[in-house]
Amino acid sequence: MDGNRRYGRSRYGPAGSLRGHADGGRNLEAAIRWCAELRGSQCPPVLGELSVYAFSSENFERPRAELDGLWAVFEAQAPGLAEQCGRLDVRCRVLNTCGWGRFPEGVRRALEQIQKDTETCSGLTVNVCVGYSGSEDICRAAEAISQTKRAPGSLSPDDFLSYLQLSSPIDLLVRTSGETRLSNFALYNVAYSELLFVDKPWPEFGKDDFQAAIDAFDDRDRRFGK
């Protein structure tokens, strides 16, 4: 979900970054709808999860005024996201590796409410990563494993994956806004991901772009080293 701030400043002027973030949040709702529709057209369903990088651990270093505006956007849009997910039978999980202590109480409650409202949904799963870092996720998993009594040599790559908050391999990673790096997202999960970099900022990423990404993925020859 990259490029919201730059999009906002370009479209609305130098003070428009928060309007860009708000547009990006609305586009997340659209993307969830596209994924739910695609899953509904598949028999049997193939698309199981959508994971979005909404706010990284490093984003806490942004100016306080921008963070306060982001918190307001999160709180304002959370009820609509929960309502849409419930209507589409989408389960929404909020993944956080840095701890909730760095978030305002209202934001924490709003995000927890989304999870509560959708916990019984059985269709698509959406993982919203906020205060998330791929390297932190790996560190927390290693700490958890160190507390177990596993025999040496008994841990497989799939076993390790199960200890992560983001605990599924990623088949297709799409990064918007012309950046061509991972920026500490899901580092363990992307071992065999197909990578697609799109020049458009996230708020301009439309349904045609989504379908083009799916078509590009379908055209890839995934050999997994074989």
**Rounded CA separation 165/129 (Å):** 10
Is 59 catalytic? The answer is yes
Out of 4, 23, 27, 59, pick the active-site residue: 59
Is 89 catalytic? The answer is no
Residues assigned a catalytic role? 2, 59
